[in-house]
Amino acid sequence: MRIVAALFGTMLLVSLAHAAELPRAVEESDYRPANEAQSRLGQLLFYDRVLSGTFRVSCASCHNHDRASSNGFLLDPASAKDVDDLAVNGLPIYDVFKPSSRHAPTLFNLGAREFTSLFSDGRVSEKDGKITSPARNLPAGLRDVLAVQALFPAVTGDELVGSKVESDLSRASHVGDQAVWDILAARVAGLPDYLPYFRAAFEDIEVGDDIEIRHLANAISAFVATEWRSDGSPFDAFLRGRQDALTRNQKRGLALFYGQAGCDLCHSGAFQTNHGYYATASPLWRFDATLADGAGDVPQGRVTVTGARDDLFRFRVPSLRNVTLSAPYGLAGSHKSLGGFLRGHIQPASSLRSFIDQRLDGKTRPDDVAEIERRLITQNQMPSVTLGDDDVSALVEFLESLTDRSAVGGVLGKPQEVPSSLVVE
């Protein structure tokens, strides 16, 4: 472990509340070994709309190649042409797929061994080789949490099934998860162009009939695990010894992050997350939400998994890799800018109040909004820190140094075409 103070000399030491430790540099052994043939197959499946009820959505609709594996919704509205292309029964995509209260997270570094819990409430997780998930019966032979995760969009009404549109999948979804998974496996098995990829990836596949949902899930997992690996940012170069990789102000932000501002209490480790769950009292609504009619559906956080009252509104600490590329910020996309989010993050109670006031536009607080606000504030675990505007901008500049431009396009990238011949987005 290196000590920040040692890197910046005694002058900064004076301004540091405590001498903070920097994480070690990311190493090859931090990642699970790759399987190239499976990743290639997974790439096709990830981009193939054949996995949706309506044949209109793929994983990439929300984890978009051109939007740093997120959807960046609203800040970067899809062009009119894209909207037409994605419209289902005349409804724009975000109506059909209910953007819910959230925007899709980026998928960077999920192949690193330490990512054993997925989703903001950790509802898919692995401990001592045992995987926990919301499904009552998981198919056998799923390799890891990413493979388990890959099964869920397919059985979630507002994701790949397309609950508002009648299809064989939406009908099967009333029978059960396995019925949906069977249909998907059969659809893919029915596309002969997939077979060579499956045979290259899995020893137990000879003919189309051998294809099962676990093969699809394991291949998607292999792809997601390797596609958005990201450890080539200026910050990584700095940790590997290149002192000049960061600007002066980024170094100041780094010293604050790992020092006085206490960000590393939660955003610690090689990927800036300790994988814990905390209540931060961040607004649970989008930046353009209207709250005068009520709070709507808000995510409850870790409590949905553990049932423990204390876990209400506790959410997993996100990795901050490439965070500059995935506006809007906060769980629900409550802030358009990183600086705006951070000012709220360090003074949560007052910022939450003013966020809600603004979203009410002079109208009275509905009871449910007032109740959620109260609970968010009583649950809050964020230490309140006083930082000046200069400090916040230094922190933003430090977060910029976590951006790895070379990782954004992915390793395999977006395929030109997929075996179903459906549009690739």
What mask, x for binding ligand HEC by CB under 6 A, covers residues 117 to 136? -xxx----------------
Give CA separation, 265 vs 78, 220, 280, 412, in Å: 37, 33, 13, 35
Give CA separation, 64 vs 57, 105, 382, in Å: 11, 10, 32
Q: For ligand HEC, which is the closer residue by CB, 10 or 334?
A: 334
Least distance from C-beta 363 to ligand HEC, angstroms? 25
Q: Binding residues for ligand HEC, how many (CB under 6 A)?
A: 50
Interaction residues for ligand HEC, span 135-154 (CB under 6 A): 146, 149-150, 153
Options 39, 43, 282, 351; binder of ligand HEC; rule CB under 6 A: 282
Query: Which pair of structure tokens corresponds to residue 296?
Result: 């709507």
* Burial bucket for residue 34 (CB in 10 Å: 0-12, 13-18, 19+): middle
> Do 160 and 216 meet the contact criterion of CB atoms below 8 Å apart?
no
Pairing mode, if any, of strands 130-132 and 277-279? unpaired
Q: For ligand HEC, which is the closer residue by CB, 149 or 403?
A: 149
Q: For ligand HEC, which is the closer residue by CB, 5 or 112?
A: 112
Options 31, 55, 97, 198; binder of ligand HEC; rule CB under 6 A: 97
Options 235, 278, 287, 313; binder of ligand HEC; rule CB under 6 A: 278
Options 48, 64, 88, 105; binder of ligand HEC; rule CB under 6 A: 105
Long-range contacts at 202-208 (CB < 8 A, ≥ 24 apart): 202/38
Options 112, 142, 261, 298; binder of ligand HEC; rule CB under 6 A: 261
Length of the chain measured in residues: 425
Is residue 330 part of the contact set for ligand HEC (CB under 6 A)? Answer: yes
Euclidean distance between CA atoms 183 and 199, whole angstroms: 20
Query: How many beta carbons lie within 10 A of that of residue 2, not counting itself?
Result: 12
Closest to 348 measured CA to CA, from 324, 331, 328, 362? 331
Euclidean distance between CA atoms 141 and 138, whole angstroms: 9
Is residue 224 part of the contact set for ligand HEC (CB under 6 A)? Answer: yes
Interaction residues for ligand HEC, span 39-58 (CB under 6 A): 46, 57
Least distance from C-beta 176 to ligand HEC, angstroms? 18
Give one word for 421, left, alpha or beta, with left for phi > 0 and alpha for psi -120 to 50: left
Is residue 228 part of the contact set for ligand HEC (CB under 6 A)? Answer: no
Is residue 356 part of the contact set for ligand HEC (CB under 6 A)? Answer: no
- Which range, of 15-23, 259-267, 369-377, 401-409, touches ligand HEC by CB under 6 A? 259-267
- Which range, of 13-21, 136-144, 257-265, 406-414, touches ligand HEC by CB under 6 A? 257-265
Is residue 320 part of the contact set for ligand HEC (CB under 6 A)? Answer: yes
Query: In the block, which residue shows the tokens 């396009």?
Result: 409
Euclidean distance between CA atoms 347 and 385, whole angstroms: 7
* Burial bucket for residue 43 (CB in 10 Å: 0-12, 13-18, 19+): buried
Contact residues: ligand HEC, CB under 6 A: 46, 57, 59, 61-63, 97, 102, 104-105, 107, 110, 118-120, 146, 149-150, 153, 159-160, 220, 224, 257, 261-263, 265-267, 278, 280, 282, 315, 317-318, 320, 323, 326, 329-331, 338, 341-342, 345-346, 381-382, 395
